[in-house]
Amino acid sequence: MGPRPPRPAGGRRPRGRVVREDPHRINDRIYGVPEVRVVGEDIEQGIYPIEEALRMAEEKGLDLVEISASADPPVCRIIEYKKFLYDLKKKQKEIKAKQAVIEMKEIRFGPNTDEHDLNFKLKHARRFLEEGHKVKAFVFFKGRTIVFKERGEILLLKFAQELEDVGVVESMPKLEGKRMMMYLIPKKKK
């Protein structure tokens, strides 16, 4: 019996362990280039034929890893590949952890919002600003309430004044369609 024909597209997935492709070409997977620039610790850096670079890595019991395929000649490093991947993942995790995710939190008012509701929404806005989020406060004018534009502006300015210890007004209240909006950003910590 000969080799099995290839599985048709849309067929069942193969069972067993999924083998992931390495993000870098290593050792004998580096092909199609006559020479490479070799870098690494305790190595005479320079341009070597690919066979010699592979032999150097093998002598040290390490891997030849293609770091920059687009360079001319490609740059390869002689290192322990698994340790290299581990360090790379660790660096990426650290970078991701340092990046602060700033979300835009919205707080909506009506032009006739009473004192109790304002205090309730102030409490939420204060927490958002302390967590480092940006706050978009807006008054939504429904139907004929658009005649109370001044009330909306006064409400937003009072809101900003109450939060001046934790936030800074990024843009003053302005009317866009049926909404009067104002943006607050967290105050820089000293």
Please state the domain extents for the chain. 27-96, 104-186
pLDDT over threshold 80, residue 95: yes
Q: What are phi and psi of 54, to 5 degrees?
A: -65, -40
Q: Inform me whether the pLDDT recorded for 39 exceeds 60.
A: yes
For residue 135, what pLDDT band results from cuts at 50, 70 and 90?
A: confident
Q: What is the DSSP string of 4-64?
A: PPPPPTT-PPPPSPPPPPPSS-BGGG--S-SEEEEE-TTS--EEEEHHHHHHHHHHHT-EE
Fold of 104-186: Translation Initiation Factor IF3 (3.30.110)
The confidence score (pLDDT) of residue 6 equals: 62
Average pLDDT (21-41) is 77
For the stretch 147-169, pLDDT in tens is: 777 888 888 888 888 888 888 88
Name the class of domain 27-96.
alpha beta
Q: Give the residue carrying structure tokens 């990024």.
A: 170
Q: Write out the two tokens for 39.
A: 């870098």
- Is the model more confident about 16 or about 183? 183
**Both tokens assigned to 164:** 């001046």
Torsion angle of C-alpha atoms 119, 124, 126, 131, degrees rounded to 10: 170
